[in-house]
Structure 1
């Protein structure tokens, strides 16, 4: 697994094993248990390497979901996304319990979710589990991976807004109607768009479900205008140094929260985006999470020796 806590070169892995044996006694490591990560089978598609305990065929629905995501991102946002050389490692655990156990063991600081994306340096890893929402979860987290590979580190709200937009697919009108209904309920409860506030968020823990919805709405607004909004969004994504706040750029063209509310009140069939033709210090870790929690029993983080043992599949 391509993660600072769980991937080790062979020599380092052997050193850890030797150290563990010396500290615990050889008799304690004679019996091996299952490793926390699935590695029995793998299938490659584009930049993705999908690992699982059960075999996945190249035309399995999760694999096709990743292929469609690449096509959607290339057509709706930037054709360069399709040229990502990878690798992006994708781990599909057996079930929800196995996934939550992995979360508690290696990432106790994270809230329980159905899937998450981790980036550090050039490593990009998606973790999820085999369940009824697997395709959707894969698209959301893999979108983060592809966006990072193409544009580098982008603002949190925009990263999540794009992942939400491509989660079910831009052509899924039912998904769009559901999102519009939730935003209408938010507006009825007094919510008003505030992109300037979204731009101040830099930790996934700061984002509430309503923030995910608003982020999706801004992306939907921009990508629904292929001649004006899409080029503006793409230019913003391609700014790596001294990126201008999108609030400022939008204000210069007269776009604000009122514009967004008017857009959300339009006829969904009319405003769906038109599909254009494909034209030194310790490295920081980046997490991206969905807004849908998965219930988990409270658990104390395991001790160091247990974590090392599970890391090595002991």
Structure 2
């Protein structure tokens, strides 16, 4: 999915300011998520309940401490209302279908009830959980993890649509290089191919060789604790000298 996670370098509204500007007919707290909607939650109660589970899963799978910092989730009933709302409160932020925004305070997630609503909410909420505990994630890894956790839990190992796309690329002789993803530092340089390839490397580290998973966890721990660390590609290649071959073997059915 193409959405946006933005760590604002410009002044942004605090969650309290945002919540005061709209009367929210539905509000609910699930774990560290404070959910506000301009429509009754109804069937979406299940999705909200899953957010608490998502936060715990991210912590357990990635070896990170639990996210304690509040996250405010703002849900609008249609695209037009969402676009007007974002234009009013964040006029300098590029228009996207869904968004995670964090300035100096708690993170904020914004989404509307569209065809990809559940995916959007899980994707942006993943960003929120990650940034509540890890302050400086590489862009590719931040997005790759969000792409991984955006689908339902049972679909993560084998039913993410990205897998078929990566396999098609491999059949055409195109294997994604991790170093190329690590060189990306601007959101504008992330296209669908980069989202797909970032997901592929995350999938490899979570479902491939144990050494790859161990190195991901160790890398995230170093990042979370503020220690200087070399790029993840260097760490993986030291543990797995045949890294590219192992990646291809993992992705191919």
| Fold match (TM-score > 0.5) | yes
1:185 to 168, 180, 183: 168
Q: State how far apart, in whole Å, the 1-side matches of 2:219 and 2:170 are.
A: 27
Are 2:40 and 1:55 aligned? yes
Find the counterpart in structure 2 of residue 205 from structure 1: 188
- Does the aligned pair in 2 maintain the 1:128–1:134 contact within 8 Å? yes
Find the counterpart in structure 1 of residue 243 from structure 2: 256
Q: Kindly report which structure 2 residues correspond to 1:259-274, keeping only aligned pairs within 5 A, or say none.
A: 259-266=246-253
Report how far residue 177 of structure 1 moved: 5.3
Name the SS for the 2:75 alignment partner: strand
CA 1:255–1:217 in structure 2 vs 1: closer, same or farther (change >3 Å)? Answer: farther
CA 1:91–1:217 in structure 2 vs 1: closer, same or farther (change >3 Å)? Answer: same
Question: Number of residue pairs matched?
Answer: 239
Q: Give the CA RMSD over aligned residues.
A: 2.9
Q: State how far apart, in whole Å, the 1-side matches of 2:209 and 2:158 are.
A: 21
* Higher relative contact order, structure no. (Cα contacts within 8 Å, ≥ 6 residues apart): 1
Q: Which has the larger radius of gyration?
A: 1
Report how far residue 45 of structure 1 moved: 0.5
- Does the aligned pair in 1 maintain the 2:108–2:128 contact within 8 Å? yes
Are 2:219 and 1:236 aligned? yes
1:45 to 20, 30, 51: 30
Are 2:203 and 1:220 aligned? yes
Q: Kindly report which structure 2 residues correspond to 1:136-147, keeping only aligned pairs within 5 A, or say none.
A: 136-147=119-130
- Does the aligned pair in 1 maintain the 2:109–2:124 contact within 8 Å? yes
Find the counterpart in structure 2 of residue 70 from structure 1: 55
2:79 to 46, 71, 96: 96
CA 1:106–1:100 in structure 2 vs 1: closer, same or farther (change >3 Å)? Answer: same
1:241-270 CA distance string (max 9 Å, x none):
32210111111121433321221104xxxx
Name the SS for the 1:260 alignment partner: helix
Higher mean C-alpha deviation, range 140-149 or range 223-232 = 223-232
Find the counterpart in structure 2 of residue 135 from structure 1: 118
Find the counterpart in structure 2 of residue 289 from structure 1: none
The structure with the greater share of residues assigned to helix is: 2
Q: State how far apart, in whole Å, the 1-side matches of 2:245 and 2:24 are.
A: 50
Q: State how far apart, in whole Å, the 1-side matches of 2:15 and 2:31 are.
A: 24
Taking structure 2 as the reference length, what is the TM-score of the superposition?
A: 0.82
Report how far residue 190 of structure 1 moved: 4.8
Gaps of 5+ in 1: 14-34, 267-314
2:12 to 5, 8, 18: 5
